[in-house]
Amino acid sequence: MEAKLGNYSKSIIYEEAGKFEETRFEKKHNVIFSNSTEGSIKVAIEIADLIRAKKSKGETCVLGLATGSSPIKVYEELVRMHNEEGLSFSNVVTFNLDEYYPMTKNNIQSYHYFMHEHLFNHVDIAPENIHIPDGTVDASELHQYCVNYEAEIDKRGGIDLQLLGIGRTGHIGFNEPGSHFNSETRSITLDYITRADAAPSFLGIDNVPKKAITMGIKTVRKAKRIILLAWGQNKASIVKKTIEGNISSKVPATYLQHHKNTTFILDIEAASELTRINTPWLVSTCNWDEKLRSKAIIWLCKKTGKSILKLIDEDYNNNGMSSLLAVEGSSYDLNIKMFNKVQHTITGWPGGKPNADDTSRPERAIPTKKRVLIFSPHPDDDVISMGGTFDRLVSQGHEVHIAYQTSGNIAVSDYEALKFAEVSKEMRCNKDNSYITTIIEQIKSKNENSIDTVEVRKLKGIIRQRESLAATRYLGVSDENVHFLNLPFYETGGIKKNPLGKEDIKIMCEIIEDIKPHQIYAAGDLADPHGTHRVSLNALFNALENLKKKPFMNDCWVWLYRGAWQEWEIHEIDMAVPMSPDQVLRKRKAIFFHQSQKDGVMFQGNDIREFWMRAEDRNTKTAQKYNELGLADYAAMEAFVRWYY
């Protein structure tokens, strides 16, 4: 069954769940778009239409607004419509959902700052029509302040359209698990997961406020129309719970199931765990292509606790897969084909096995010595994500180049930078050390809102370069094969990066043209907290597009690994490289050279383990999953998907 994707040209029409939904599992109307940009534009159109319709009747339009990453493109599009299509906000009144507490208005992390930066500063809204909970209100007055906020919404006629994001705890606004169905605007203690998700922007979880002011569930429910936005893999699990689960205070967003006019706008990644997308054979007839077959059979093994070769007809028939059985004839044939397919993904020769029949191997035997270019978004993803394969490629005699796409400078703590600056100063003894003294002063005088100076960023970048060189030397790569690209999109000094520019793509094209690789490895990881991996991957895709007609590209295969936050699903894997226990230790040691990322890493998301622990755990689990399917029992495995460009 095809996922019903939102149609770009149609407007979003609300359909009541239970009456129109194609699957018995879904309890909330949702529309899935192929990407967040398309979804955001659709939502912006609905908002603009409402503003205009109200204006033509001489009415004000009351909008409930959200912050966070989800609505950014909606605001971008509204600003564009204001600039290019004359959309006026003169009849618009806004109420924001929430604000951290305590929080000053000019703090760059405040929602006050966010809203002005992304929307209010760029449109013609009257300042007196803007309402954002005030994070500076004295604690003794907070209760009354919240009562007044609620009353002000009612006084303005109630919210016509409420925009929401969803937190991984299932919060809407900051209504964390446990919130009451009838809650109104109030102060609330934030969940740990919410604070961990906010930690990157605050440069560490310790800086994230513990409390917030938020509109309540009832406040949100009173809105005439609600649109909830969710983008990306990170949201997939909570989206499933919210749309398919029972209403519960443990997932406050499920309260929206009671609301008569709510639509969830999703991209395909956020929708990926919905039953009709993830396991379509359970809800409908399927078009059994290769990919879906693999996915279904591996799912069936997990569901039944059996290895591939032990599945029987009954297992297929009882789990919505009888049509697959009908196509193939018998479980025996299906099982053998699937087993061979998975078996053929395993290779100890990631660069191809010389002088061997390669018809059922993931890589070509020829040329026997390949030029390999490993792209690493940050200076450490190479060893974290594919350290074992990297090691094999070098030891099997290939010409291995590493290209670090970004400097990774913002992930070096001030303590670490200060340590190196002081060492450097002391080494200079009586010589002129004014430059390094300036750097030391700059680090020491940093305050909560300031970004690093260019000099401090340079120092932090050098620290990461030297750590990388230590690791690549350990794995046997000579320094001239290590390339630091310092892509400009990353160099803002802050968490928010610039959009990908021509210069980024030019740099990527140059290195590929220069090396003319037979193999490119790159991070296909779409879930890193700051989006740097995603942008780095887009930089590669753009470069491949520019270069693909060049003759040398006919010989260039692209393999995607996943970063520290995610692993490929078994059915997606095209090449699995096993590691012995000794190789696991070598990989660990290579990761250890990245000392600035050890012991209290700055940007770890909500997983408190260090990168080497996560990498080992992930590689061990991949090996276990292969073993559970009935394949050989390896200590660990790294996984790759081939990208066809």
- Contacts with ligand F6R by CB under 6 A lie at 66-70, 97-98, 111, 165-167, 171-174
d(CA 231, CA 226) in angstroms, rounded, equals: 17
355: number of Cβ within 10 Å: 8
Give the residue carrying structure tokens 């000019």.
Answer: 106
Give the residue carrying structure tokens 């990306």.
Answer: 232
C-alpha 140: how far from chain center: 39
H or E element that contains 146: helix 142-155
d(CA 75, CA 95) in angstroms, rounded, equals: 15
* E strand spans, 29-175: 30-33, 61-65, 92-96, 98-101, 130-131, 161-164
d(CA 180, CA 255) in angstroms, rounded, equals: 9
360: number of Cβ within 10 Å: 10
H or E element that contains 375: strand 371-376
For 400, left (φ over 0), alpha (ψ -120 to 50), or beta? beta
The CA-to-CA distance between both ends of the chain, in Å, stands at 26
d(CA 79, CA 76) in angstroms, rounded, equals: 5
Give the residue carrying structure tokens 């193999």.
Answer: 519
Q: Show the tokens assigned to 261.
A: 């006019």
**Nearest CB to ligand F6R, comparing residues 112 and 614:** 112
Cβ(336)–Cβ(349) below 8 Å:
no
Helix (H, G, I), strand (E, B) or coil at 123: coil
Q: How far is CA 50 from CA 8, 40, 161, in A?
A: 18, 15, 9
| DSSP conformation letters of 169-228 | T--BTTB-TT--TT--SEEEEPPHHHHHHHTTTTTSGGGS-SEEEE--HHHHHTSSEEEE
Q: Which residues are CB-contacts of 513 (< 8 A; sequence separation ≥ 6)?
A: 547, 550
At its nearest, how many Å lie between ligand F6R and the CB of residue 74? 11
d(CA 388, CA 395) in angstroms, rounded, equals: 11
Q: Is 76 a catalytic residue?
A: no
**Nearest CB to ligand F6R, comparing residues 232 and 350:** 232
Q: Does residue 102 have a cis peptide bond before it, meaning omega lies within 30 degrees of 0?
A: yes
Up-side HSE of residue 606: CA atoms within 13 Å toward CB?
13
**Nearest CB to ligand F6R, comparing residues 169 and 389:** 169
Q: What sections of 86-130 are H helices per DSSP?
A: 111-118
Up-side HSE of residue 301: CA atoms within 13 Å toward CB?
22
SS (H, E, C) 378-419: CCCHHHHHHHHHHHHHHHCCCEEEEEECCCCHHHCCHHHHHH
At its nearest, how many Å lie between ligand F6R and the CB of residue 373? 34
Per-residue b/e over 86-112, b at no fewer than 16 CB within 10 Å? Answer: ebebebbbbbbbbbbbbbeeebbbbbb
Q: Show the tokens assigned to 476.
A: 């046997």
**Active-site annotation holder among 26, 77, 150, 176:** 176
**Nearest CB to ligand F6R, comparing residues 132 and 520:** 132
**Nearest CB to ligand F6R, comparing residues 150 and 363:** 150
> Of the candidates 615, 597, 186, 192, which has an alpha carbon nearest to the alpha carbon of residue 389?
615
At its nearest, how many Å lie between ligand F6R and the CB of residue 175? 8
At its nearest, how many Å lie between ligand F6R and the CB of residue 97? 4
At its nearest, how many Å lie between ligand F6R and the CB of residue 68? 3
22: number of Cβ within 10 Å: 11
Catalytic residues: 176
